[in-house]
Structure 1
């Protein structure tokens, strides 16, 4: 055991001796007796509860996600809820949903029974539902909070646990910090209070949700449609859509909302239609990656599809694929899809006289300026937040209370979009509907979405963006990521990509009233920028690039030159 830290040795022994830990888990730990490195990875720390909740590899250990780490987190959350809302009339309640991953139903039920053990009503969906539906349901059912069991588009060995506040938004830092403080006080599994399923149901502390809540969500999404006529026109009726849910929670709601709006030709990729915790047809169930659309493109060619759409396992991110001028399928970036949707939505609202005078579009600091430029063209105010839709949700709630702005659209470059105020998280069901509606509208004008994108470049400038990331796993990886950030912070470059670095924005200092975050953004004299940001949910450092060119070729050259130079230094 020489290679293990004392913390690991002590914690492993505590788990092995704990009567609350089942024999199966103990057997899993004993199987690593001769693998100190594996035990060190599993126990060198407690799985971190960040602002987004827990996310980690499934398995036994304090640095893994399992029923014990889920139970402990829920006990801390329950104590927080009872402290904040205990004096309110009636019992507090929490809505719980889960995706199609390994152990998602088990972790969802575990969380529900711990909440019930603490006198909190758990309102649980019995089978997989999307993350945006969870956000909607918290608001719709006027619950105290929400939990969703998902690891979004991470590989199959991961799962996660996200917590939502009463507004339906993910916890923002000041809320998460209070929950974390309560979790840290749960110092043993014996301190986790839990009822059996039978006890919880008999006491009315476990309530099952179903069809009524599903339909309410679909209606809320459909209400955001801005041009029903575009879909019911002859060309709108002809539009052909291929959809892949990538084995996740989007299959039912995306099809239902498209059907409710009147789309007639929706083809589902059969191999990817059913839930599959191993996501066995893709390397990664991520609609940001072209490879995830391989099967959709094949089906698209067979049926002559105008647009292909894909959603990730918890259906909060949507990717779209359209044909370019050469008739080849190209995957739109999150920034490109966002720009098209902003242009479509705002132009339609303006046309119908429904665009509010105080309309606001919200984006993140690493999202392209193209969408912002289009939004400002239509008279909307554009606001920036840190990365993470929780910050967009927080702004929406502020608008609702102050009346200063009317929220119209929010998005981030990582394929997350929301129009309408029915939820406080990004929604791939809504984005699927909106981009298909836009495709139907422009088809009625004899244009593809790619033609529309080209027109937007001509009108607003050739904006191009790129994301590079480096995965650095485990304890050593965390140290490497910290070392890269401190190197760039203490030795900022004078020049990059042939342009002078004019400004360095260090968000760790809490700029423009934003919370402090370990993010560095470098603004260049030619209007380009790049940004370094450690991921909050994966063992990655992400590097974002954005340029604006005189033509597409000019922008492509600028982007390559800038990203090559920056990544050479990151990799060094």
Structure 2
């Protein structure tokens, strides 16, 4: 069927509910909107589903969620009775329809005879990862669109190790989705029926308690200044209770929560784009920070898997740290602390993405710790922890990527804003007792290893035409790369889609220049964006930053030439 036929099918079929039909009636004379909603099915990939909420095959709604879940259910059934009995854990965030979508998923799984463990309220995404491992479920689902704007929601699938599914499992699920010829073939029972039959069980609060104890066990130092002033904002998301709890139980008494962003708000009215990677998300936190003379401002995104921070400078203003800088500080703090305690494992490994800078590698080399690179995404980073479990050849210490995602240790197999918030607070308190700020420590790292600068540029290109232009941009860089930039010459290119590498195939291009600088370009896997990652290294800060600007100018000029 073409998009108009799909629209008419949804608009006229009695299977679809009244609200859906009313929503579709409102757009009956808007062919472009109909096309946007029905020109394709919302793609199920290794990130699961993510899209704008609304009626249509290319939207997040109860029907696309039930379709994906039936595909997952069939996949689990194909694995046998043990997989069916082990079941699926389900969590959800604060977004519009998150609870409803979580319940739809539970109802479909239970109708297929699969055991379901369901959280009774919002929870951080990393807690789901922990729960999968703790309850030994075969799979897990979290309903979240992470840091996307309010109009989005999503559906992420995890497998038994507690990490997000990879391509092979996503393909199995997608194959089973594609075999479903009609929505009416999807099995569904009521929540109450599932509870009465013992097919659905609410997850006990003890899971929260166990998780918090495990997080606290990761502390590296107790000889710290616990009187530091911390401002925390969950950005109206799921981090509020557990981040505050772990900071309190670690002994931090001066934790001030941004009141306007404390409680759940699916519209994110105070921030709009709830991504702490953008310093604009810290506006309310900065105001409170000045009132409380905060040493550090910490923000987690709506599902509390990402975290960022701002640090008080010498002039009392707050300076934002990017994901590369926070990652380098954490690697330095973890390894230096463990070196002092003589408990760095001989086969310890730091895992980072291919678009994350190399400063952490220099730090890890100092402590004889190996660095391994993966494709972007924690499904790849934590798959290394899964691999290490099997081979016993390495020990996973820390994983991170420049997009403010970090995890320490491996009882959680995803980026974890709760663990990372505790470590950032502890690290700040540790260095303050030594008379240093995080900015001072970062400067010391630069002086020892060189000045690493970075910049991320994201260009939003929405809709069908946006998607086509992103592909044209990728084609242009792939076929006609920039040979020279202000005295820097291209020495090597890696095309992760076509070249043989140690990673799976991916539409990423990486260009290395003769002075040690490099840049990469790729389409986002979860948003209508094309991303450019620019990195430089020099003996001084000024030169390093100038190189970034020169590379950025060349890249942007080329992008603008692609119509």
Per the shorter chain, which TM-score range? Answer: over 0.9
1:19 corresponding residue in structure 2:
14
Change (3 A) 1:179 1:267: same
1:219 partnered with 2:208: no
Q: Deviations over 1:18-38 (max 9, x none)?
A: 222112111111111111110
Report the CA distance between 1:17 and its aligned residue: 2.9
Once residues 109 and 500 of structure 2 are traced to their aligned partners in structure 1, the CA distance between those partners, rounded to angstroms, is 37
SS of residue in 1 equivalent to 2:501: helix
1:79 corresponding residue in structure 2:
74
Whether contact under 8 Å (1:81, 1:92) holds in the other structure is: no
Once residues 486 and 49 of structure 2 are traced to their aligned partners in structure 1, the CA distance between those partners, rounded to angstroms, is 38
Q: Deviations over 1:488-510 (max 9, x none)?
A: 11112211343111011000025
Report the CA distance between 1:228 and its aligned residue: 2.2
Report the CA distance between 1:513 and its aligned residue: 2.4
Report the CA distance between 1:402 and its aligned residue: 1.2
Once residues 308 and 226 of structure 2 are traced to their aligned partners in structure 1, the CA distance between those partners, rounded to angstroms, is 22
1:151 partnered with 2:145: yes
Report the CA distance between 1:159 and its aligned residue: 0.2
What is the aligned counterpart of 2:56 among 53, 61, 70?
Answer: 61
* 1:402-413 paired onto structure 2 within 5 Å: 402-413=391-402
Once residues 242 and 92 of structure 1 are traced to their aligned partners in structure 2, the CA distance between those partners, rounded to angstroms, is 41
Report the CA distance between 1:454 and its aligned residue: 0.6
Q: Deviations over 1:121-148 (max 9, x none)?
A: 1111111101100111000110010000
Q: Deviations over 1:165-205 (max 9, x none)?
A: 00000011111111111111112111110111121111111
Once residues 112 and 357 of structure 1 are traced to their aligned partners in structure 2, the CA distance between those partners, rounded to angstroms, is 43
Once residues 112 and 265 of structure 1 are traced to their aligned partners in structure 2, the CA distance between those partners, rounded to angstroms, is 40
Q: How many residues align?
A: 561
Change (3 A) 1:89 1:210: closer
Change (3 A) 1:12 1:378: same
Once residues 179 and 186 of structure 1 are traced to their aligned partners in structure 2, the CA distance between those partners, rounded to angstroms, is 11
Once residues 507 and 479 of structure 1 are traced to their aligned partners in structure 2, the CA distance between those partners, rounded to angstroms, is 20
What is the aligned counterpart of 1:305 among 273, 276, 294?
Answer: 294
1:485 partnered with 2:477: no
Change (3 A) 1:90 1:542: closer
Unaligned runs of 5+ in 1: 1-5, 231-235
Whether contact under 8 Å (1:359, 1:381) holds in the other structure is: yes
Whether contact under 8 Å (1:510, 1:517) holds in the other structure is: no
1:51 partnered with 2:46: yes
Unaligned runs of 5+ in 2: none
Report the CA distance between 1:512 and its aligned residue: 2.3
Q: Deviations over 1:279-313 (max 9, x none)?
A: 00013110001110011011111111111100000
Q: Deviations over 1:439-477 (max 9, x none)?
A: 111011000111000100101110011000110001111
Runs of at least 4 residues off by over 4 Å: none
Could you say what the CA RMSD is over the residues aligned between the two structures, in angstroms?
A: 1.1
> TM-score, normalised to structure 2's length?
0.98
1:546 partnered with 2:531: no
2:115 corresponding residue in structure 1:
121
SS of residue in 2 equivalent to 1:39: helix
> TM-score, normalised to structure 1's length?
0.97
2:354 corresponding residue in structure 1:
365
1:233 corresponding residue in structure 2:
none
SS of residue in 2 equivalent to 1:300: helix
Once residues 208 and 216 of structure 1 are traced to their aligned partners in structure 2, the CA distance between those partners, rounded to angstroms, is 16
Whether contact under 8 Å (1:463, 1:548) holds in the other structure is: yes
1:435 corresponding residue in structure 2:
424
Report the CA distance between 1:571 and its aligned residue: 2.1
Whether contact under 8 Å (1:82, 1:92) holds in the other structure is: no
1:317 partnered with 2:306: yes
